[in-house]
Amino acid sequence: MRCRRCRGAAVIEVRRHNAAFCGDCFERHVREQVKRAIRDHAMLEPDDRVLVAVSGGKDSLGLWDLLLGLGYRASGLYLGLGIGEYSTRSGDVVRAFAGERGAELIEVDLRRDYGYDIPTAGRKGSRSTCAVCGLSKRYVFNRAALEGGFDVVATGHNLDDEAATLLGNTLRWQTEYIARQFPVLAEREGMVRKVKPLYRLSELETAAYAFIRGIEYVVEECPLVAGNTQLRYKEVMNALEATSVGTKTQFLLGYVERAAPLFRDGDGPPVELTPCERCGQPTTARFCAFCRARAQVLGERLGPAERDPGTERQTAEEMSSEVLPAELYGAGRAG
Ligand code: SF4
Ligand SMILES: [Zn+2]
Ligand SMILES: [Zn+2]
């Protein structure tokens, strides 16, 4: 097998591109895909302060590595979920990565800063473990970005993650979720821009990139992943891909390039947001979904709005991955 670019010995084959690459040319291919994603969707300006949500997995650390390599001012944000040894190891890996590169790392710990951890929230609240985990991540990323003066939050969702989420939303025709599943979510009052620069790269490619770059990452999956619906959609997509190479790419990139505007146009007027009476973050109710979930877990009372969910609508952020909450960190291992 020869490298498509330099004709040297290839180390990886990318079947959907019908191409093989040597290590150097593969790194270049990955960088080109990321640059194209950023350019096509105006994800980042050269001077933006970027906050990369890092879990310790290959996608988010690979993304951080790529953005630093492309010259962006990229800091990391690690959220401690309190999931035993898995979280301990994830935190260690992220700290080592940041230390080696001299990159800024912001750490938030759910137990220390908000009084609960994910296993406890899964047992005590009304949401599933992954749902409350996804909600916590979305909230903390946005709040940390606002408080730190960042312009944008970048997450490590790859093509497989996005295709699986799109499949799940399409099977139920959840058109509002579909409309918001896009490589970039624009900034709006109290919410920073969110971008997914890896959406053109498959899981195989992000894993190979991490390997070739010598990035140490947590390979194990989150021990709570069993209830995660996204994994089932990934399995279906992989089965289709095995017999029909390119299905995932056509499904996702076809949506992004051709179908997404159809859903966005039918999206209706923007939802009006007001500050949460507890934390000040934008919401459509008196209290935001995060404060309501947290109060439930801690056994606190917030006020009447908490008992009257019929009067509220979810914000774009609350909706964007409500069905498949693990997607925020880039799934599979998700944490
Ligand atoms: S699988 Fe992902 S979303 Fe679910 S609890 Fe673990 S880290 Fe959170
Ligand atoms: Zn080459
Ligand atoms: Zn709140």
Query: Any idea where the domains of the chain sit in the sequence?
Result: 37-271+315-329, 273-311
Largest interatomic CA distance in the chain = 68
CA of 8, nearest ligand number: 2
| Cβ of 325 less than 6 Å from ligand 1 | yes
| Cβ of 224 less than 6 Å from ligand 1 | yes
Model confidence at 265, in pLDDT bands (50, 70, 90)?
low
Interstrand relation of 49-53 and 73-80 (parallel, antiparallel or unpaired): parallel
Q: Which residue in the block uniquely carries the two structure tokens 């992000």?
A: 206
Q: Give how far Cα 274 sits from Cα of 190, 281, 302, Å.
A: 9, 8, 16
DSSP-assigned beta bridge partners for residue 119: none
- Please state which of the ranges 71-75, 83-87, 310-314 shows the lowest mean pLDDT: 310-314
Residue 312's pLDDT is what? 43
Helical ranges in the chain per DSSP H:
23-40, 58-69, 84-101, 118-124, 129-147, 159-171, 175-180, 203-212, 229-243, 247-254, 260-265, 289-298, 316-320
8 A C-beta contact, residue 82 and residue 107: no
Tell me: the pLDDT tens digits for 6-65?
A: 999 999 999 888 999 999 999 999 999 999 999 999 999 999 999 999 999 999 999 999
Pocket test for ligand 1, best of 94, 116, 129 (most atoms within 8 A of CB): 129
Cα(77) to centroid(ligand 3), Å: 20
Cα(126) to centroid(ligand 3), Å: 17
Question: Rounded CA gap, 35 and 69, in Å?
Answer: 11
Sign for the CA dihedral angle at 21, 22, 25, 27 comes to positive
Residue 228's pLDDT is what? 78
Q: State the DSSP H helix or E strand holding residue 106, giving kind and residue range, or none if neither.
A: strand 105-109
| Cβ of 82 less than 6 Å from ligand 1 | no
Question: Rounded CA gap, 50 and 5, in Å?
Answer: 32
8 A C-beta contact, residue 155 and residue 196: yes
Stronger pLDDT, 32 or 130, i.e. the higher one: 32
Residue 16's pLDDT is what? 87
Instruction: Output the average pLDDT for the chain.
Output: 89
Tell me: the pLDDT tens digits for 165-206?
A: 999 999 999 998 898 899 999 998 899 999 999 999 999 999
Cα(299) to centroid(ligand 1), Å: 23
Single-letter code of the amino acid located at 32:
E
Model confidence at 305, in pLDDT bands (50, 70, 90)?
very low
Residue 324's pLDDT is what? 33
pLDDT reading at 76 higher than 80: yes
Question: Rounded CA gap, 288 and 309, in Å?
Answer: 11
Residue 259's pLDDT is what? 94
Q: Which residue in the block uniquely carries the two structure tokens 């947290």?
A: 294
Q: Which atom of ligand 1 sits closest to the CA of residue 225?
A: 1
Q: Which atom of ligand 1 sits closest to the CA of residue 129?
A: 5
Question: Rounded CA gap, 269 and 219, in Å?
Answer: 43
Name the residues around ion ligand 2, CB cutoff 5 A: 3, 5-6, 8, 22, 25
Pocket test for ligand 1, best of 94, 225, 232 (most atoms within 8 A of CB): 225
Task: Show Cβ contacts of residue 118 under 8 Å, excluding neighbours closer than 6 positions.
Answer: 81, 82, 83, 110, 129, 132, 133, 136, 224
Question: Quick one: tokens of 216?
Answer: 């140490």
Count other C-beta atoms under 10 Å from residue 277's C-beta: 15
pLDDT reading at 314 higher than 50: no
Task: Show Cβ contacts of residue 42 under 8 Å, excluding neighbours closer than 6 positions.
Answer: 184
Closest C-alpha to ligand 1, atom 7: 335
Pocket test for ligand 1, best of 88, 120, 130 (most atoms within 8 A of CB): 130
Fold classification of 37-271+315-329 is Rossmann fold (3.40.50)
CA of 110, nearest ligand number: 1
Cα(282) to centroid(ligand 3), Å: 8
CA of 223, nearest ligand number: 1
Q: Which atom of ligand 1 sits closest to the CA of residue 221?
A: 1
| Cβ of 136 less than 6 Å from ligand 1 | no
Task: Show Cβ contacts of residue 71 under 8 Å, excluding neighbours closer than 6 positions.
Answer: 46
Q: Which residue in the block uniquely carries the two structure tokens 């009052």?
A: 189
